[in-house]
Structure 1
């Protein structure tokens, strides 16, 4: 049995989809059983749990030989103390997985922000999650550190479609290690199933090539009938104001802005080279075509 936590999330669902497609026995976990129904229809078991409840998590992980874990929700816009939420989730996983009979493999979803010891905002908890999982004994733990999610471009699609322009704080010419969530799920599934040998520690994941926001905006423009679409950079104050207008608490707006600044100023960056172990196949153009067509 392989257990996938937060299976209704983008990455968790990608892991569950890949495992089910390969014929594995899977148990999916989530806060809402209805959102897990599509996996049950394909033969998975389902358990309704909260990621900050160690007791229900331990029951849900029972008889698992492999486990996929991640901090979820990864963003709570209205939170006034998001690190407290992250600490509860990390503690719950640590307690739920400790000395669990039969468990041999854990894949944790971290991120490239874990490369930066001073990571701020929503990504603060990634390194603490890694450190907590590393204290478990008798299990092989792999931390996946994917780069910039291609799904981050989804709001840009509607903005370009409506105005021909996308906006952001990250410099338009900064190369980003963009990666599709489906590719992260495929790697995690291969590690959990033993089809891919786990290395020690963290595995940074990135798509087949780096891409800039200028290039991303141009590609979106071509795809949605807005040729000549352009990317315009905004400052930190404008980003924060936009987040507040969208319903973010001051705490979450400040943290999200700080996180974005860390990317923009290259404190959050890849440390492993792109090679056969770290590269994934989906290009941004392929990702976009699947969305638009």
Structure 2
């Protein structure tokens, strides 16, 4: 039995899809049975859990041979104390996973922000999550630290489709280790099943090449009928104001702005070179074609 927590998230669903496509027995965990139904329709066992409740999580993980785990949700726009939520999720997972008789392998979704000891905002909890899981005994454990998700460009697609211009805090010419969540899911599934092993407990993942936001904007423009589309850099105050206008609490607007600033200033960066072990196959152009068509 392979258990995938937060199976309705982008990455969790990619892991579940990969395992089900390979014919494995899968249990999917999530906060809503309705949202898990598409996996149940393909033969998965669906279990409703709360990510901050160790009791319900332990029931979900019981009987698992291998488990994919992550902090979820990754952002709560209206939160006034997101680190407190993350601490509850971390503690609940540590308690739920401890001492399970059948469990031999765990793959956790962390992120490249865990490379930076001073990570702030929504990514603050990644390192503490890794450290909490590291205290578990009797299991093989791999922390995946993927780079910048290609799915981060979804708001850019809408903006360029509407106006021909996208805006953001990250410099237009900063190379980003963009990666598709489907590729992360495929790697996680292979690690869970033992088809793949990792040389170290921490495995950074990135796509086949770095890509800049200027390149991304141009590619999006071509894909959505906005040739000549461009990306314009904004300052931190403008980003924060936009987040507040979108309904973020001041706390979450501050944290998200700080996180983005850390990427922009290269405090959040990859530390492992791009190799056959850390690179994934999907290019941004391939991902974009699948997304907009």
User: Which TM-score band applies after superposition, normalised by the shorter structure?
Assistant: over 0.9
Q: Give the TM-score normalised by structure 1.
A: 0.99
In the alignment, what sits opposite 1:62? 62
**8 Å CA contact retained: 1:31, 1:49:** yes
Distance 1:122 1:6 in 2: 17
SS in structure 1 opposite 2:248? Answer: coil
Equivalent-residue separation in structure 2 for 1:246 and 1:209 (angstroms): 32
The residue that corresponds to 2:143 in the other structure is 143
Matches within 5 A, 1:218-229: 218-229=218-229
Cα offset, 1:292, TM superposition: 1.4
* TM alignment of 1:264-279, pairs within 5 A: 264-279=264-279
Q: Is the 8 A contact 1:94 1:133 kept in 2?
A: yes
Q: Is the 8 A contact 1:156 1:166 kept in 2?
A: yes
- Mapping 1:40-51, distance limit 5 Å: 40-51=40-51
* TM-score (norm: length of structure 2): 0.99
Query: In the alignment, which residue of structure 2 is the partner of 1:190?
Result: 190
Rounded Cα–Cα distance in structure 1 between residues aligned with 2:14 and 2:23: 15
CA-CA distance at 1:199 after TM superposition: 2.9
**Separation in 2, partners of 1:115, 1:139:** 23
Q: Which runs of 5+ in 1 are unaligned?
A: none
Q: Report the number of matched residues.
A: 293
Unaligned runs of 5+ in 2: none
CA distance in 1, matches of 2:225, 2:60: 47
1: CA distance, partners of 2:198 / 2:276: 14
Aligned partners of 1:142 and 1:199 also within 8 Å: no
Counterpart-to-counterpart distance in 2, 1:214 and 1:65: 44
Residues 178-218 of structure 1, C-alpha deviations (whole Å, 9 max, x = no match): 00000000000000010001333210000000000000000
Aligned partner of 1:88 in structure 2 is: 88
Q: Is the aligned partner of 1:207 residue 2:207?
A: yes
Q: For 1:177 and 1:64, how far apart are their aligned partners in 2?
A: 33
Structure 1 runs (4+) deviating above 4 angstroms are none
Q: Distance in 1 between matches of 2:163 and 2:56?
A: 47
